[in-house]
Every structure is written in structure tokens, then in C-alpha cells.
């Protein structure tokens, strides 16, 4: 592989990985707090991209404003899903919540198919993202530069919230022991609600950037990125934010590099990732940074 291709593929892998990381964080945060795999998360990602699409094309808002509004709206959708679908089954057996999550996922996908149609829509990306940048011998698209930068910025904000603010402290205490947190006078439902808001906002940001990278959107666009981000969260150690980031970058790089080094495998790029998930589940089910879960009494 020439240096030029290598740099290009590296940038490609890093930007893809940073998107996986953003989505994976949403899975891992909700799991950390509720021990729930939020299967609807991949569709929230899609909803975010559509909000941006409509704000740009129908309401003719500036691109950046549309993106910000879309992220805020998606955060509200995330909170609404928690309120309407998950809160009523919070004290039910865990499997009920899991099935509810699958249901919400199908609901959002099919709602999308019915309302906006199955036909992919072209997503307009800002000039900055489309511009080609030269790094050494390689020509790299602006998307591959900006997506990792923006993602890292968002993650930095997230880490600040989780480790330096009162909300973050409440989130960490809920993750350790939800009942005791209640006894400390914390309204746990509010904390969970904000967790969904934050996770969904990150998914929306991911969705919009994904649409900049692959500028066509459709109601099922979330499925594969969602599954791979879920894989990233598991590989990193589910429940662990840093782990989700590591997992995301790892998955992105492996996916791109495997195909770059062995072009013959290009048909198997999804298979490679899911194979990796299986290997991890067999060999190290707690993931890279995960701790062994103590079953709560």
C-alpha cells in the first residue's frame, strides 16, 4: 500500500471510528444506568439526520443552525422515548424492557418508511465538509478531517459533564446503585431522562455527520452503524464511556484497514466486525475496560 493510500485510509478509518464512538457512547451510558440495551438508539441516529435534513431543505435554515436544532430536537425525542416506552416498564423484569426497546426500534424505522418514504434523500453538506484537503501526498476529504475533530470535542464536553458536574455525579451514582441514589433525595427519573437526552444528542450529531460522510439518508440508515457501534460498546466494555470510545475507533479502523489491506475481503467488511464481536463475547465478554458485573441481590 502506498503512503498516500495509507494516509487516506487512516483518515477514513479514524473518521468512521469516531462516528461509531459517538453512537457507542449512547448505548453504553444507558446500559450503565439501566442495564438496558437501547435498541432504538440506532434509529434515534437516523431521526437526527432527518431532522437536520428537513430543517435545511424545508425550513431553509442555515446549515449549522439546522444541525444544532436537530440535535436538540433529537434529545427531546430520546427523552420522550424514555418517558413513554421505558419508564412504565422500569420495575418490570429486564427482558420486558429489552423487548420494548426492540419494539421502539421497529416503530421508529417503520414510522420513517411511512412518513418520509423508503427512497434515499440526498443530504446537503456544507462546503467545509466537501472541500478536499491535502496532507502530504494524500488528498483527504474535509469530512474525514472535521468529523474526528468535532467528535472529540463533543466527547470532551460529555466527559466534562459526567465527571465534573452535579448531573454527572448523579449519573454515576445512579449507575452504581439506583435505590440508594433515590434515598439521597435524587429524583432518579430526571437523571435517567437527561441521560437519554445526552445519548440521543450524541447520536443525532453522529447521524448528521454520517450523512455528511455518506450523503444519502434513508429510514433504515441507522441499522448497520447502530449494530457496529453496539459492537464497539461491547468490545470496549459496556457501561464504560472510555471503553466505548476505544471500541469505536478500533472498529472503524479495523473495518477500513481490513478492506484496504485485503481488497478481496471487501464483501466481508460487516462480517469481520461481527466476527470480532463473537470472538470478544467468547473470550472476554466484559470487553477491554469492562469490569466483571456483580449480580445485584
Binding status of residue 177 toward other proteins by CB under 8 A: yes
Binding status of residue 169 toward other proteins by CB under 8 A: yes
Nearer to other proteins, 78 or 252 (CB): 78
Total residues at the site for other proteins (CB under 8 A)?
23
Q: How far is residue 180's CA from residue 293's CA, in Å, rounded to a whole number?
A: 18
Q: How far is the CB of 190 from other proteins (least distance, A)?
A: 7
Q: How far is residue 119's CA from residue 277's CA, in Å, rounded to a whole number?
A: 31
Sign of CA dihedral 94, 111, 59, 129: positive
Q: How far is the CB of 176 from other proteins (least distance, A)?
A: 5
Residues 94-153 contacting other proteins, CB under 8 A: none
Nearer to other proteins, 170 or 209 (CB): 170
Binding status of residue 266 toward other proteins by CB under 8 A: no
Q: How far is residue 230's CA from residue 31's CA, in Å, rounded to a whole number?
A: 11
Binding status of residue 166 toward other proteins by CB under 8 A: yes
Q: How far is the CB of 36 from other proteins (least distance, A)?
A: 20
Q: Which residues face 121 on adjacent strands?
A: 217
* Neighbour count for residue 107 (Cβ, 10 Å): 14
* Neighbour count for residue 173 (Cβ, 10 Å): 16
Among 91, 95, 134, 185, binds other proteins (CB under 8 A): 185
Closest alpha carbon to 234 in 24, 34, 29: 24
Binding status of residue 180 toward other proteins by CB under 8 A: yes
Binding status of residue 156 toward other proteins by CB under 8 A: no
Q: Is the CB of residue 73 less than 8 Å from the CB of residue 136?
A: no
Closest alpha carbon to 98 in 84, 86, 82: 86
In terms of phi and psi (left: phi > 0; alpha: psi -120 to 50; beta: otherwise), the region of 139 is: beta
CB environment 247-282: b (16+ within 10 A), e (fewer) = bbbbbbbbbbbbbbeeeeeeeeeeeebeebbeebee
Of the candidate spans 127-135, 175-183, 207-215, 276-284, the one that interacts with other proteins by CB under 8 A turns out to be 175-183
Binding status of residue 182 toward other proteins by CB under 8 A: yes
Closest alpha carbon to 219 in 43, 59, 92: 43
Q: How far is the CB of 37 from other proteins (least distance, A)?
A: 22
Of the candidate spans 1-9, 113-121, 176-184, 258-266, the one that interacts with other proteins by CB under 8 A turns out to be 176-184
Q: How far is the CB of 163 from other proteins (least distance, A)?
A: 10
Binding status of residue 161 toward other proteins by CB under 8 A: yes
The backbone torsions φ and ψ at residue 138, rounded to the nearest 5 degrees and listed phi first, read -100, 145
Among 173, 218, 242, 286, binds other proteins (CB under 8 A): 173
Of the candidate spans 124-132, 159-167, 264-272, 278-286, the one that interacts with other proteins by CB under 8 A turns out to be 159-167
Nearer to other proteins, 59 or 163 (CB): 163
Nearer to other proteins, 51 or 194 (CB): 194
The residues of the shown chain that bind other proteins, judged by CB under 8 A, are 161, 165-167, 169-170, 172-173, 176-177, 179-188, 190-191, 194
Amino acid at each position: 500500500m502506498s503512503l498516500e493510500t495509507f494516509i487516506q485510509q487512516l483518515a477514513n478509518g479514524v473518521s468512521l471510528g469516531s462516528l461509531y464512538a459517538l453512537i457507542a457512547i449512547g448505548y453504553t451510558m444507558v446500559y450503565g444506568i439501566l442495564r438496558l440495551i437501547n435498541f432504538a438508539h440506532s434509529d434515534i441516529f437516523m431521526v437526527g439526520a432527518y431532522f437536520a435534513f428537513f430543517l435545511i431543505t424545508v425550513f431553509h435554515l442555515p446549515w449549522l443552525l439546522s444541525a444544532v436544532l436537530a440535535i436538540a430536537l433529537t434529545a427531546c425525542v430520546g427523552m420522550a422515548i424514555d418517558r413513554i416506552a421505558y419508564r412504565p416498564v422500569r420495575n418490570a423484569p429486564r427482558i420486558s424492557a429489552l423487548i420494548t426497546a426492540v419494539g421502539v426500534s421497529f416503530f421508529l424505522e417503520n414510522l420513517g418508511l411511512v412518513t418520509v418514504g423508503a427512497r434515499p434523500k440526498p443530504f446537503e453538506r456544507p462546503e467545509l465538509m466537501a472541500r478536499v484537503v491535502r496532507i502530504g501526498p494524500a488528498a483527504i476529504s474535509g469530512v474525514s478531517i472535521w468529523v474526528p475533530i468535532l467528535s472529540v470535542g463533543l466527547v470532551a464536553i460529555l466527559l466534562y459533564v459526567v465527571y465534573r458536574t452535579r448531573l454527572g455525579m448523579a449519573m454515576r451514582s445512579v449507575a452504581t446503585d439506583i435505590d440508594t441514589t433515590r434515598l439521597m433525595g435524587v429524583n432518579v427519573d430526571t437523571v435517567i431522562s437527561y441521560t437519554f437526552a445526552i445519548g440521543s444528542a450524541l447520536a443525532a450529531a453522529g447521524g448528521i455527520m454520517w450523512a455528511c460522510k455518506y450523503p444519502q439518508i434513508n429510514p433504515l440508515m441507522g441499522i448497520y452503524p447502530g449494530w457496529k457501534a453496539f459492537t464497539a460498546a461491547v468490545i470496549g466494555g459496556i457501561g464504560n464511556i472510555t471503553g466505548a470510545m476505544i471500541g469505536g475507533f478500533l472498529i472503524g479502523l479495523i473495518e477500513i484497514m481490513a478492506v484496504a489491506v485485503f481488497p478481496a475481503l471487501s464483501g466481508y467488511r460487516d462480517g469481520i466486525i461481527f466476527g470480532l464481536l463473537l470472538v470478544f463475547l467468547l473470550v472476554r465478554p466484559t470487553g477491554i475496560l469492562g469490569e466483571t458485573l456483580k449480580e445485584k441481590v
